[in-house]
Structure formats: structure tokens, C-alpha cells
Amino acid sequence: MSGLPHPAGFSLVDEAWIPVLDAEGQRRDVSLLGLFEQAGDVRMIACELPTQTFAILRLALAILHRTTGGPPGEAAWRALWRDRWLPVADIAEYLGVFRDRFDLLHPEHPFYQVADLRAAKNNTYGLERLIADVPNGMPFLTTRAGQGMESISLAEAARWVVHCQAYDPSGIKTGAVGDPRVKGGRGYPIGVASLGALGGVHIEGATLLETLLLNLVPIAPGWQVSDERDLPVWEREPQTAVEEADAARGPHGLLSLYTWQSRRIRLFGDAGGVTGAMISNGDRLEWQDRHLLEPMSVWGRSGPREREQKRTPIYLPRPHDHSRALWRGLQTLLPAPPLPGAEAPQRLSPMVVQWLARLTVTGVVGPDFQARTRATSVTYGTQQAVVDEVFSDALTMNVLLLVEDSALRAAAVDAAGDAESAVKVLCRLADNLVRAAGSRDIDSGDAERAAERAYALLDRAFRDWLARLGPDSDPVAERASWQRLVRRAVKRLGSEMVAAAGPAAWAGRPGVDRAGRDVHFSSSQAEAWFRLGLAKALPMAAELEHQRQEEAA
């Protein structure tokens, strides 16, 4: 921080800079040490963006991993969970030892920055380089306009520095003096920051204390493995403008991953606030086959890389599909277990999910425990040089659904597929009604609008249904109940669409169906196909309907 004496520092250990929600839902800011001291009374970290929350959670987890010694195994973790306890005294001592490295304004090694970072022309830069621009082209919050972009508090600057190291877009950066990669004063793209490639997932407990422990996967054989070189960035020599050598930077374990320095940053301003930031390229991170190291992402096999490298499997992190609610991609979050002798699975669930499943199987976590699985990721646009969209969604579910061979898990995943199948039938109805009305343009958008209405109607219903599942639930009966709910909802929407189709659709038009047969498209024929399709998509609901009709006869 230019021209600022050290006594006027801003200690992240002591100063309040992390927004949290307490048990009553009131928002307040706490210091880094206060986050641990008050974790049992705090509901959650609650930043401006979910990506900020996720990045700061990982920072806190790095500290917790370090002060718990891993933890070194399941027994050590179990002791923390049993007592719902954090080693606050050890955390305070640890943060005290490295207090200078957590000073945002330190003249020699400011937190997550390079003190003497500069461009060849000694330029200064505005805050738009630091503050995530969501959506592209305009600030995420309207308060950013005008004076809101001229200066921000040191507390807010600290949050954006952590976020920048995690989610900064790719693209051309300011060339830092001393960086051999710089050409013509420019730092050419090295990719998005460390978390930008992830389909981030973490488990939320009833309190922040539970959240921290549930995501604290032990560093032990069979789970997390690291070596003596794995250290958080504040325990290593301060960064310079130069990218670290591959052998030195790792990642060698969770600590280096959670504190990865994707960018070289220098803030400008004074004790009254931050007015600008220089951001240059930092350390590249190759995510291929890091699924045994990174616990907080979904993973999928990469066909192109497998063909290129002529080996299988190769796994890469998979960002979430921002066009779909999390429950609609439940098979990605909770993939089916591979069959004996089958090839490597196409998808892998996050290690934090696998860890909680193990705790459920071994009885450490009771079968009635409700966990909230939170997904976070970013969509980048224009050669990944801008942030287009931030995604965040969560599902509350019983821990039994996390267990791979659980019948309840299979029922939930199949139930999400049931909804998809039913909505496809509704979309075909929309297309057939368009044809019946005489339009040749079946891409009129009617099917898309029908799908939007259906998913909006089913969204809350599925979340509520999923949250009700528990150890006493009958998977078959619950899935049948869900199919009946879907059938009622989608059938009602279909009836409304038929009624609104008008006289032209009722009279109909001749045409050719998908099988190439000559048929007469009309609203009555479209409705008949719709009911038949719905019966095939939701057979358990159709069976009950047929049974009722027989009983009535």
C-alpha cells in the first residue's frame, strides 16, 4: 500500500471484515479470529457474492487444517465433532505467530499481495479491476456507480482480494516489472483464477462451527494426502512478481490449494480506504486429475484429453450448469456407483460429500442428520476474460442420500429424472399445438416457455419432497408419491395449454409425425399423445390411476 507506515496497518486477525449472519439472521462483521471464536453462535459467512463466501470459507479451512494437524485421521475428527468444538486457543496462538502476514497494509508482505508490484510506467488503476463485474459491462451492485467505485473500505478490499485470488477472470493483465512472461508491458492470459474452474460444493451445517467441521476432510491415507512442503502462503517466503517454479509451488496438499496465489496484487490507497488495485498474472494451476486432492468440486472424465493423451481415466472439475437448478442435475452431484468390473465412472462426487457419507455409514453422524449441500461456480464469457454469471444453489437432504448404495439416493436421483421426462412430454405437446394451429415454426419458443413454467412449478415441490426424505422413508413409495405430484402439476399445465390453443388448433392441420407418418395434428390429438406420453414418463403414477379406475368400475 503506497506511502502507508506500518503502525497504521489493518490486521485481518483483529479487524472486523468478514460478514456473517447470526442465529437471529442479523448481519455483522467479525475478524478472522472472531470467526472461530463465535463459530458456534454464527449461522454462516454471508458475503456480497456467494463466491466471496466460498473463497473465505476455504481460507478459514486452511487455518483450521493447520491448527488441527490435519486432522490426522477419523478419530481426531470424531473428537471435534462429538464435542462440537474448535481449538480456539491454538488458532489464536497460530494467528498470533503469523499476525504480520495477515496485515492488509504491511509494507513488506501485505496479505495476499506483493508490496513492490509495479508496472513499467508506474501506473495506478481503478477498483473495477478488483471488484467482480457481474453481469458483464455493469457493476453488480448499483451502489458501485459514481463514488461507490472511487473508494472502498479496507474491510471490503480484504474480501475482494481473497475473491480475486480465487475467481479473477482470464485475459490480458498489467505486466509487472520483473515478470519474464511480460511482453510489451502486458501479461498474457494464463487462465481464470484457481476456483474459477471448479463446480464448487460445500456442506452447510446448522452453525458455522458445524460447516467448518463438515468440510474439514482429514489429511490421512485414503482421504487427503500431503507432504511436508504443503504450507499456506503466509508460512512461505513472500511472493514476488515472478511465477513460482512448478516444483516449489505445488500444489502439495490442501494448504497450498486453499491459499493459491493465482494473481499478483497491489492495493492503492491509505488508511481511509482503497482507491485502486494493480492485478497481474500469478501462478498457473493445472486441475487435471486433482480429484484426490481437491475435496470441494464435482468432477467428470474428459474425453478430449483421454483421446489426446491416450489414457483413461482423466478427470477435470466440472462447473455447475447455470441454466438448471441444482436438483435437476442431482445425478452429477450424486452419481450412481460404478458396477463391479465396469470402466472408471464418468462422474465423481465431491470428496466432502464422500466424507460425510462415510461418517453416516460408520455411525459417527446419525441417520436423521440433515445436511445442506451448497453449490457455487462462475460462468465466464468472451474468452474467459469477463465474469458473466455467478451461480449458487443449495439442497437440504438427509445424509443417507449421500451414501452411494443407498436406495433413498437412487430414488431421489430417479425422481429428478422423472421430472425431466415429464417436462419433455409437455414440450412435445407445445410443439404439436403449434403445428395444429398451422404454424411451420415449431421453434417458436412455446416449448421453452412451457418448460420454464413446469420447472418453476416443480422447483419448490422437489426441494420440499427431498428434504422430507429420511431413515423411515420407503424409497419406492416416496418415488411413486413424487411421480403423482409431477403428473398432477404437468397435466394441469398441459390442459391449460390445450384450452388456450384456440379454434384453429382444434380444427387442426395435416402433417407428418416424428416417425414419418401422415397424421392430422389437432389439439385433441395432441392432448391424447400428451396423456399417453405422460403415462410412459411416470409409470408409477399411471399404475395408481389405472388401479383407481378399476376400483371405481
| pLDDT at residue 2 is higher than 70 | no
Average pLDDT (165-184) is: 94
Cell numbers 465423481 correspond to: 348
Distance CA 315, CA 96 (A): 39
Name the residue among 156, 163, 166 with its Cα closest to residue 16.
Answer: 156
pTM: 0.91
Residue 141: pLDDT over 50: no
* HSE-CB of 428 using CA atoms within 13 angstroms: 19
Q: What pLDDT, on a 0 to 100 scale, did the predictor assign at position 442?
A: 60
Residue 420 makes CB contacts below 8 A (sequence gap 6+) with 328
Length of the chain: 553
* Stretch (H or E) spanning 226: none
Pairing state of beta strands 200-204 and 370-381?
Answer: antiparallel
Q: Do the beta carbons of residue 426 and residue 491 sit within 8 Å?
A: no
Judge whether 104 and 267 are in contact, CB under 8 Å: yes
* Residue 188 vs residue 128, higher pLDDT: 188
**What is the C-alpha to C-alpha distance for residues 427 and 204, in angstroms, rounded to an integer?**
36
Burial string for 117-135 (b: 16+ CB within 10 Å, else e) reads: bbbeeeeebebebbbbbbe
Given the DSSP bridges, would you call strands 299-301 and 263-270 parallel, antiparallel or unpaired? unpaired
CATH for the 408-552 domain, from 1.10.10.10, 3.60.15.10, 1.10.150.50, 1.10.132.100: 1.10.132.100
Q: 189 is written with which cell numbers?
A: 492470459
**Three-class SS of 365-402:** CCCCCEEEEEEEEEEEECCCCEEEEEEEEEEEEEHHHH
7 confidence band (pLDDT: 50, 70, 90): low
Q: Is pLDDT at 6 greater than 50 in this prediction?
A: no
Which is it for the CA torsion 324, 326, 329, 332, positive or negative?
A: positive
Phi-psi region of 202 (alpha: psi -120 to 50; beta: other; left: phi over 0): beta
> In this predicted structure, what is the pLDDT of residue 547?
52
Q: What is the DSSP letter of 100?
A: G
Residues 191-233 have pLDDT tens digits of 999 999 999 999 999 999 999 999 999 987 777 777 888 999 9
Closest C-alpha to 266, from 188, 157, 192, 167: 157
Would you state the pLDDT for residue 100? 95
Is residue 251 reached through a cis peptide bond, with omega within 30 degrees of 0 on the bond before it? Answer: yes
Grid cell listed for 185: 508491458
Element (H, E) at 231: none
Per residue in 82-103, pLDDT (tens digit) is: 999 999 999 999 999 999 999 9
| Nearest one of 461, 449, 515 to 488, comparing CA atoms | 461
pLDDT of 3 > 50? The answer is: no
pLDDT single digits (tens) 434-486 = 888 886 656 668 899 999 999 999 999 999 999 999 999 999 999 999 999 99
pLDDT, mean over the chain? 89
Close Cβ partners of 504 (under 8 Å, ≥ 6 residues apart): 436, 437, 438
Among 328, 505, 354, 344, CA closest to 417 = 328
Confidence check: pLDDT of 133 > 70: no
The residue ranges of every structural domain in the chain are 1-337+344-403, 408-552
pLDDT tops 70 at residue 145: no
Strands 18-22 and 42-45: antiparallel
Q: Among 418, 416, 413, which Cα is nearest to 534's?
A: 418
Distance CA 111, CA 265 (A): 10
Report pLDDT digits (tens) over 386-404. 999 999 999 999 999 999 9
**Strands 263-270, 518-521: parallel, antiparallel or unpaired by DSSP?**
unpaired
Share of the chain above pLDDT 90, in %: 73
